Amino acid sequence: MSSIDDIRAERVRKLEEIKKAGIEPFPVSPEKSFLISDILANFNKIKKPIFICGRIMAIRSHGGSVFFDVNDGSGILQAYLKKDDVSKEQFFLFEKADIGDFVELKGKLFKTKKKEKTLKIGKWRFLAKSLLPLPEKWHGLQDIEERFRKRYLDLLMNQEVKERFLMRSRIISELRDILIKNGFIEVETPILQPLAGGALAEPFTTHHNSLDIDLNLRIAPELYLKKLLIGGFNKVFEIGRNFRNEGIDVTHNPEFTMLELYEAYQDAKGLRQQTEKFLKELIKKIFKKPEIVFEENKINFNKKFSEISYYEVLKRYALIIDAGKEDRNGISLKAKQFGIKVEDFETKEKIMDNIYKKMCRPKIIQPTFIIDYPVGTSPLAKRMENNKEMIDRFQLVIAGMEIINGFSELNDPVDQKERFAVQDKAKEAGDKEVSPSDKDYLEAMEYGMPPAAGLGIGIDRLVMLLTNTKNIREVILFPTLRPKK
């Protein structure tokens, strides 16, 4: 078997011969009259000569004729080049063609004796000469990281992978349509931010030379979106990239896509109801039925989503009978029993959340809203009217994954300032995930912020759920990887 270097050298030789013959192997303007998918769908109706463009995926030579398969991204069509039907130069030029080359073909459609839909070529030319061979369909891309590094080959050789990313595109498109139909407007907020706020996460930092200031890649667009509520936009959403300098695992990638939406004159309960309605509409549009399969579980979207309090979840799955009354030492002891590392700077609420993530969340399979959280779990959520130690927050968990996080938005600037002060102390104690006080946001709040509710949807995890995919890197086209040595 020839080495990659030998194959490349042979193709370079062919390329040079093509150029010496006065033929342009990389022409500027291709001519195309039909997509292959349209040809296959309307095969019997197309009588005139047509042009197609695409990549050669297979070649079968038979002396004075050649059959080869062409893929234009929409489908695959067999092409037939016969020595008697084209000029001598055109026929022998095909000896310089290889699998992977892009070509433009002109010809008439016909069916072979085996009833195979085929294009009989009258004229053809190169559009791009490939120098490296495509991997073999079943054996070429065995290394998982190599698939991610060379996603272009993964997409080309694996139809299932391509279909998954087409589904991702459709999910985002359908979500956008649903929100716009319900009166939300799409906006764009800064990705480079002086302060990384709106979530608990360590940011990536950079420096702007002209302004001579340090900036952060956003960890969330939340505070900017809520400034738009203050500015009079009542329903806003943004779909965009967030960046968090955290670990990589099956549900986390440092660069990920989030949909965040905010609605004035709304609360967490109303937003939960609206969210359930939107998700059920999305599932119905895509699957035409209210049930999906994730791993070995059937997920039912037909029933009303369950609701359970955060403390009840800890009681049921972590056997913490009354988490609200436990002190930090008691919660720390529980965490250590579960093999969870506890840092000195971590608050009781942070430790509880780590217990919840390890011991509770993976056991929640059917769509379930976790509600009623302690104040310390979110500095931007509104306190409940009947219990000021709790916040009006929810998370939607499906198949053991957090899909949505939302809450009634804190709009009291005095309370917000006090909670930012608590965060400042945690940051001074060494918590890298806590953001410093955002004085600009506090000033905006003091002009008056309407009551509102908001949420964030992890698009990547939602796509994982709806495509029955176990690893987040399988639903991100180019996931973050360590550079190859």
CATH number, domain of 288, equals: 3.30.930.10
Q: Which two tokens stand for residue 315?
A: 């009681």
Does the pLDDT of residue 483 top 90, yes or no?
no
The pLDDT tens digits of the residues spanning 126-157 come to 999 999 999 875 455 778 888 999 999 999 99
- Most distant pair of Cα atoms in the chain: their distance: 89
> Where are any strands of DSSP class E within 418-480?
452-458
Q: Is residue 330 included in any domain, yes or no?
A: no
Q: Is residue 81 included in any domain, yes or no?
A: yes
CA 251 to chain centre: 11
CA distance 97 to 286: 41
Please indicate, yes or no, whether residues 123 and 168 belong to a single structural domain of this protein. no
Q: Is residue 142 included in any domain, yes or no?
A: no
The conformation of residue 375, written as its DSSP 8-state character, comes to G
Q: Which amino acid is at 360?
A: C
pLDDT higher at 323 or 283: 283
Query: Structurally, how many domains does the chain consist of?
Result: 2
Q: Is residue 310 included in any domain, yes or no?
A: no
pLDDT at 126: 98
Please indicate, yes or no, whether residues 443 and 376 belong to a single structural domain of this protein. yes
Which of 80, 112, 128 delimits the end of a domain?
128
pLDDT at 367: 98
Does the pLDDT of residue 173 top 70, yes or no?
yes
Please indicate, yes or no, whether residues 396 and 251 belong to a single structural domain of this protein. yes
What is the reported pTM? 0.92
Please indicate, yes or no, whether residues 180 and 103 belong to a single structural domain of this protein. no
Please indicate, yes or no, whether residues 23 and 112 belong to a single structural domain of this protein. yes
Please indicate, yes or no, whether residues 119 and 159 belong to a single structural domain of this protein. no
Distances (CA, A) of 140 to 32, 99, 136, 150, 156: 31, 14, 4, 12, 12
Please indicate, yes or no, whether residues 45 and 159 belong to a single structural domain of this protein. no
CA distance 330 to 332: 5
Can you tell me the mean pLDDT for 177-191?
98
User: 102 has which bridge partners?
Assistant: 55, 128
Please indicate, yes or no, whether residues 75 and 159 belong to a single structural domain of this protein. no
pLDDT at 271: 98
Please indicate, yes or no, whether residues 161 and 119 belong to a single structural domain of this protein. no
Does the pLDDT of residue 217 top 90, yes or no?
yes
Average pLDDT, the chain: 94
Q: Is residue 147 included in any domain, yes or no?
A: no
The pLDDT tens digits of the residues spanning 285-334 come to 999 999 999 999 999 999 999 999 999 999 999 999 998 899 999 999 99
Can you tell me the mean pLDDT for 457-467?
98
Q: Is residue 9 included in any domain, yes or no?
A: yes
pLDDT band at 427 (very low <50, low <70, confident <90, very high): confident
Q: Is residue 239 included in any domain, yes or no?
A: yes
Q: Which two tokens stand for residue 142?
A: 């065995």
The pLDDT tens digits of the residues spanning 44-103 come to 999 999 999 999 999 999 888 999 999 999 999 999 999 999 999 999 999 999 999 999
Whether 57 and 71 have beta carbons less than 8 Å apart is answered as yes
CA distance 317 to 334: 12
pLDDT at 1: 56
Please indicate, yes or no, whether residues 83 and 231 belong to a single structural domain of this protein. no
pLDDT band at 433 (very low <50, low <70, confident <90, very high): confident
Distances (CA, A) of 225 to 31, 339, 426: 46, 38, 25
Q: Is residue 334 included in any domain, yes or no?
A: no
Q: What percent of the chain has pLDDT over 90?
A: 86
Distances (CA, A) of 418 to 11, 157, 256, 382: 68, 56, 31, 13
Please indicate, yes or no, whether residues 231 and 109 belong to a single structural domain of this protein. no
The pLDDT tens digits of the residues spanning 344-387 come to 888 999 999 999 999 999 999 999 999 999 998 988 999 999 99
Q: Domain of residue 424: give its range.
A: 155-305+367-474
pLDDT at 196: 87
The pLDDT tens digits of the residues spanning 377-399 come to 988 999 999 999 999 999 999 99
Please indicate, yes or no, whether residues 165 and 87 belong to a single structural domain of this protein. no
- Residue 122 is part of a domain; what is its CATH number? 2.40.50.140
